[in-house]
Chain A
Amino acid sequence: MSETVLAPVSAGIDGPSGPKPKRRFSRRNIFVYGTLIIVALYYLLPLYVMIVTSLKGMPEIRLGNIFSPPMEITFEPWVKAWAKACTGLNCDGLSRGFWNSVVITVPSVILSIAIASVNGYALANWRFKGADVFFTILIFGAFIPYQVMIYPIVIILREIGLYGKLPGLVLVHTIFGMPILTLLFRNYFTSIPEELFKAARVDGAGFWGIYFKIMLPMSLPIFVVAMILQITGIWNDFLFGVIYTKPDTYPMTVQLNNIVNSVQGVKEYNVNMAATILTGLVPLIVYFVSGKLFVRGIAAGAVKG
């Protein structure tokens, strides 16, 4: 750690391609790092508050300010949030929501990505008459507030007999994930060189042949992006989760809402914060682990095309 933050950066092959700062302690470097550090602090502040608060006891919260570090660290709020917090008669905290969330998220992510990738592929490489129209309607769907669609969806699910069942919920997530995902996949597939596609056609490969043999192996970055977006979106969903499930199958977000809004006497901010972090943990880990791939995938899916 002998190097300072402001040490010159060696130009890596993979590195960024912006303008090159050459001077060491230039005013510009100070400006760049200064700004970034201040902004980073602003972004970290709420996370800091959440963590600090979740480790305090209630008396300390009432007295102190929210930014002061805990005088006495307690994990009681975490235990309570996970296993003991009550909603109505159920006093088992977030724990039973966790597995439900997994059961809802995994099939929804797989199905929505499978369908959207095929859509994007068909739109990008096998355009048929009317494709533009359907695609425009789909993008229109990206703007529709979910609340507006609850009633039609209830009726559709009722008519096909899937209301209140897991496949129904998976279907809803697939439908509402489709616009943005299709957009990303379509853009990605159009950025793949046309020659590859043509060569495969000459070799006699069909629709599915090209999809599985040529497109899929080249598409890791965009699949990563789609997975991150879907895992985050579906894991964080509250509205569909609460309307299309039952108490036994409530996802974690519904439990979170229940814990946060079931005030028994005083509002237990520490438990609320612990519950909040616990609920956000899965998407957060996904982001922290795959941050680099995300940017690369976004670059491929959102920018080109």
Chain B
Amino acid sequence: MLTGKAQDGVMTTQERPNQLFRNISAKIAALPMIATALVVFLGGTLWTIFYSFTNSKLLPRLKFVGLDQYERLWTTNRWLISIENLLIYGVLSLIFSLVIGFVLAALLDQKIRFENTFRTILLYPFALSFVVTGLVWQWVLNPDFGIQKVLRDMGWTSLEFDPLYNPEIVIYGILIAGLWQGTGLIMCLMLAGLRGIDEDIWKAARVDGIPMWKTYLFIIIPMMRGVFITTLVIIASGIVRIYDLVVAQTSGGPGIASEVPAKYVYDAMFTKQNLAQGFAGSTMMLLSVLIILIPWAYLEFGGRKRV
């Protein structure tokens, strides 16, 4: 999706006569979308940014304090740790999701038996909510009951495997659970992409004697640009929004070692009853989303000119 190809139809549509009349009916049909985009997403965002310059506590108030909220935000340890965690989680989750998703899809694409079974197994965690995912992994990783205890019972008595209770590595414990839940979908997207590749390309590569890994790396992957962009959007939006998983698995602990920005925002708004501080955090998050989104929008709509 999201490639220049999509726009062929568009150009012709716009060249048709009676454009105004047709556009009106399309516009009416698209009204819910326009309203959502403008009122909720754009309006809500601007409203949030606007009130981040106030000192609103429990209820929105119009008493402006300039950049005070931002100053406090960037001097708060918890926010800095949240950002650091998001970066670690984000980069690793992006890399591992793409690599694991692609490798699994490539394996499933080897005309294997029981493909359906394997695919279902890899995909089922996606049907479970993050809350459930967090609970299950909290349980599996619990040092008193879970993997650590089993390994110790087996003889490795000095072995330490308690990612959720060790501030140094807790974010990796969350990553394990996040990947478990999400890679199935990525695998599915990649598989769909691989299935869209023409058989002849493989034949040609074989005739030329190109090794399989090279074919994948230099021929197939570049052809799957559309899939990769979709996948990136899905993974990235999931990363920015990470919240439930952390709450269910660690509640941000031990200490504040696994805090994430969305949780900071939520807690600031409701637990600390400091809306404006929460809005300042939101604004920073929304800004970072824009940084992700602008390249995408450029690829998507800038691409049209090339057609």
Q: Footprint of B on A, CB under 8 Å?
A: 5, 7, 9, 11, 15-21, 28, 32-33, 35-36, 39-40, 42-47, 49-50, 53, 61, 65-67, 115, 118-119, 121-129, 131-132, 134-153, 156, 174-175, 178, 180, 182-183, 186-187, 190, 194, 197-198, 201, 206-208, 232, 236-239, 253, 256-257, 260, 269, 272-273, 276, 279-280, 283-284, 286-288, 291-292, 294-295, 298-299, 301-305
Contacts and interface: CB of A to CB of B under 8 A. Distances in A.
- 3 smallest beta-carbon distances between A and B, as pairs: A236-B129, A299-B192, A126-B26
Given A65-B153, A149-B44, A303-B192, A138 B237 contact: no
Given A134-B38, A238-B244, A280-B132, 10 more contacts: A16-B108, A18-B194, A118-B32, A122-B30, A139-B233, A152-B47, A194-B8, A298-B192, A305-B5, A305-B6
Nearest to A142: B237
Contact of A66 (B45, B145, B196, B293): B145
A305 B3 contact: yes
B72 to A, nearest CB: 18
Contact of A141 (B36, B119, B197): B36
A158 B44 CA distance: 14
B125 interface: yes
Interface in B226-282: 226-227, 230, 233-234, 236-237, 240-241, 243-244, 261-263, 265-266, 269, 275, 282
Contact of A295 (B1, B3, B191): B191
A188 B243 CA distance: 31
24 contacts: A49-B139, A50-B136, A66-B149, A66-B150, A122-B29, A122-B33, A124-B9, A128-B27, A128-B30, A136-B301, A139-B293, A139-B296, A142-B233, A145-B243, A145-B285, A146-B241, A147-B262, A148-B265, A178-B36, A273-B136, A280-B127, A287-B126, A294-B123, A303-B192
Interface residues on B, range: 35 or more
Interface stretch (B61-69, B110-118, B167-175): B110-118
B292 interface: yes
Given A18-B110, A129-B23, A143-B292, A295 B188 contact: yes
A294 B240 contact: no
A190 B40 contact: no
B301 A132 contact: yes
Interface of B: 1-3, 5-6, 8-10, 12-14, 16, 22-23, 25-27, 29-30, 32-34, 36-45, 47-48, 60, 104, 106-116, 118-132, 135-137, 139-140, 145-146, 149-150, 153, 180, 184, 188-189, 191-197, 199, 202, 206, 212, 215, 226-227, 230, 233-234, 236-237, 240-241, 243-244, 261-263, 265-266, 269, 275, 282, 285-286, 289-290, 292-293, 296-297, 300-301
Contact of A140 (B2, B212, B290): B290
Contacts of B120: 287-288, 291
Contacts of B106: 18
Contacts of A28: 110
A273 B142 CA distance: 14
A187 B6 contact: yes
A125 B10 CA distance: 7
Contacts of B114: 5
B36 A269 contact: no
Contacts of B129: 236-238, 253, 279-280
A156 B41 CA distance: 12
A292 B116 contact: yes
A190 B123 contact: no
Contacts of B126: 232, 287
A194 B145 contact: no
Given A21-B110, A32-B107, A236 B41 contact: no
B199 A17 contact: yes
Contacts, number: 323
A123 B191 CA distance: 27
A149 B39 CA distance: 12
A127 B119 contact: no
B26 A305 contact: no
A1 B112 CA distance: 16
A182 B149 CA distance: 47
A16 B121 contact: no
Contacts of A187: 1-2, 6
Contacts of B3: 305
Contacts of A139: 233, 293, 296-297
B111 A147 contact: no
Nearest to A62: B145
Contacts of B40: 141, 149, 152-153, 156, 175
A65 B140 CA distance: 10
A117 B264 CA distance: 35
B111 A61 contact: no
A283 B128 contact: yes
A298 B111 contact: no
B227 A303 contact: yes
Contact of B104 (A15, A39, A61): A39
Contacts of A118: 29-30, 32
Given A66-B140, A303-B193, A43 B116 contact: no
Nearest to B260: A145
Contact of A36 (B9, B10, B108, B189): B108
Given A127-B10, A129-B23, A291-B119, A151 B192 contact: no
Given A134-B33, A302-B189, A303-B193, A152 B43 contact: yes
Contact of B123 (A16, A44, A50, A291): A291
